[in-house]
Amino acid sequence: MTILLQLLVLLFIGPIAIGLIRTIGARLQGRRGASLLQPYRHFRQLWQKETIEPTGASVIFRFAPYVLLGTSLTIGAAGPFLATSDGLSSSSDLFVVVGLLFVGNIAMALAGLDLGTSFGGMGASRELTVSSLVEPTLLVSIFALSIPARSSSLDIICRTSLLNPQRLLTPADLLALGAFLVVVIAETKRLPVDNPSTHLELTMIHEAMLLEYSGPRLAIVEWASDLRLALLLGLIANLFFPLGIINHGVTAGHLAIAILALTAKVLLLAALIALAETALIKIRLLRVPELLSGSFILAFLSIMISFFVAGH
């Protein structure tokens, strides 16, 4: 029950978070921008449009969007977003979560390569370049988080920080948070790694793989991408600031609080992303490794602090 509710909440927060990022971005640039609900309207529009199948599309092209959504839904169902321990705890391991995110990336990269267009190949190549460098940072920052909890299970990490709130905001935790933020920005393909609002071949990563999708399938891909943004922001929110999450005993009141807390935290983070994106410019693809190795070093320092500085 909680799992379904959690999935629904995440499925709805995702598009709103994107809408919020776009609205705030527009306001900061002096435009009025579309409403927060524009992503939903976009989905409805795509859902009603006809599907055009590009020549030479194989099974992989047809089913990649569903694999992307399937992996995202699994993470959404298993992770501690509203409640700990009530999720499908056997798959809420952080390594599984990272692996499933990666499986989704692979599905889309294969769809990009399937048709043999230059754009699809370019997008797939860049996507995997970025995500194969994101992976180490993600795993090392997970390691940093799992040291105090003595486990890589998301539920246990959340519960440990709920029980010892003084652990939060230690240097180790802040460094891991910094690393995690960079990773999330790279993984969700936001500025400065990718510019999701352009369709310019020089800058595209994610969008280049989707050029041949249309209609309901495109809607699925976009909704899955929005869901992934919500998932990653939700993970930051709950791993570093686990306030409001239900620890045991689910009641209606608790659920309402948990939903409100999650929404508020995710939207706050989305607003921060919007602010950052206004201040930043996109960097060249070959400079991205510098950004990622920087965050990798932050995560590594965080581990070293946890291991070597007394008091942990």
Partner 1 sequence: MNASSYRIWLLASSVFTLGIAFAGGWLAIATLNGAHLSLNVNWLLPLAGLHLRIDPLSALFDLLTATIAVAAAIYMIAYFGRHVTTRFTLALMPVFVAAMLLVPMAATYYDFWFFWEIMAVTSAALVLTNYRDSATRNAGLYYIAYTQVGFALILASTAYLNAHSTTGFLDGSGSHLAVLSNTVFVLSLLGFTSKAGLLPLSSWLQLAHPEAPTPVSALMSAAMVNIGIYGALRIDLAGPQQSWWGVLMIAIGLASALYGALHALISSDIKRLLAFSTSENLGIIITALGAYELLRTTHFVIVAEIALAGAILHLIGHALFKSLAFISAGQLIDQSSTRDLNRMGNMIRRARLASTGYGVASLGATGLPLGAGFIGEWLLLQALIHTSTSAPILLRIVMPIAVALLALTVGLKVAAMTKAFGIGVLSRQRVPGSSETVRPTLARVAGATAISLLVLANLVFATVPSIVAPLYQRVADYLVPRGRPIDIGFSIMFMPLKGAISPLAIFIEVVGSAIVVGLLVERHIRLQGRIPSADLWNCGGGAPRIRMQYNSASFAQPLETIFGNALRVQEHTDVDHADPSGLIVTTMVYRRSRADIIATTLHRLVGAIIGQGSSLVRRAHPGNIRLYILYGAIGLLIIFMVTR
Long-range contacts from 158-164, C-beta under 8 angstroms, 24+ separation? 158/80, 158/84, 158/238, 158/239, 158/242, 158/245, 159/84, 159/85, 159/247, 161/239, 161/240, 161/242, 162/84, 162/242, 162/245, 162/247
Closer CB to partner 1, 252 or 286, in the complex: 286
**312 is an interface residue for partner 1 by CB under 8 A:** yes
Closer CB to partner 1, 123 or 242, in the complex: 123
Q: Judged by CB under 8 A, how many residues of this single chain contact partner 1?
A: 89
**58 is an interface residue for partner 1 by CB under 8 A:** yes
Name the amino acid, one letter, at 40: Y
Which of residues 11, 46, 139, 259 is near partner 1 by CB under 8 A?
139
Other beta carbons less than 10 A from residue 308's beta carbon: 8
**47 is an interface residue for partner 1 by CB under 8 A:** yes
Tokens of 44: 């409805």
Closer CB to partner 1, 253 or 311, in the complex: 311
Phi-psi domain of 84 (left: phi exceeds 0; alpha: psi -120 through 50; beta: other): beta
Q: Residue 125 in 3-state DSSP?
A: helix
Taking contact as CB under 8 A, which single stretch among the options 23-31, 236-244, 250-258, 281-289 is the one that binds partner 1?
281-289
Build a one-symbol-per-residue string for 174-213: x at contacts with partner 1 by CB under 8 A, - elsewhere.
Answer: ---------------------------x---------xx-
Q: Residue 241 in 3-state DSSP?
A: coil
Tokens of 212: 């041949």
Closest approach, Cβ 126 to partner 1, in A, equals 7
DSSP annotation string for 128-173: HHHHHHHHHHHHHHHHHHHHHHTS-BHHHHHHHHHH-GGGTTSHHH
Which of residues 43, 81, 143, 240 is near partner 1 by CB under 8 A?
143
**46 is an interface residue for partner 1 by CB under 8 A:** no
Taking contact as CB under 8 A, which single stretch among the options 35-43, 111-119, 254-262, 265-273 is the one that binds partner 1?
111-119
Residue 56's contacts (CB-CB under 8 Å, 6 or more residues apart) are 114, 115, 116
Which of residues 122, 168, 268, 271 is near partner 1 by CB under 8 A?
122
Closest approach, Cβ 293 to partner 1, in A, equals 10
Which of residues 67, 210, 235, 291 is near partner 1 by CB under 8 A?
67
Residue 303's contacts (CB-CB under 8 Å, 6 or more residues apart) are 140, 143, 144, 147, 172
Residues between 233 and 262 with contacts to partner 1, criterion CB under 8 A:
none
Which of residues 169, 198, 248, 289 is near partner 1 by CB under 8 A?
289
Closer CB to partner 1, 242 or 244, in the complex: 242
Closest approach, Cβ 129 to partner 1, in A, equals 4
How many CA within 13 A on the CB side of residue 139? 10
**91 is an interface residue for partner 1 by CB under 8 A:** yes
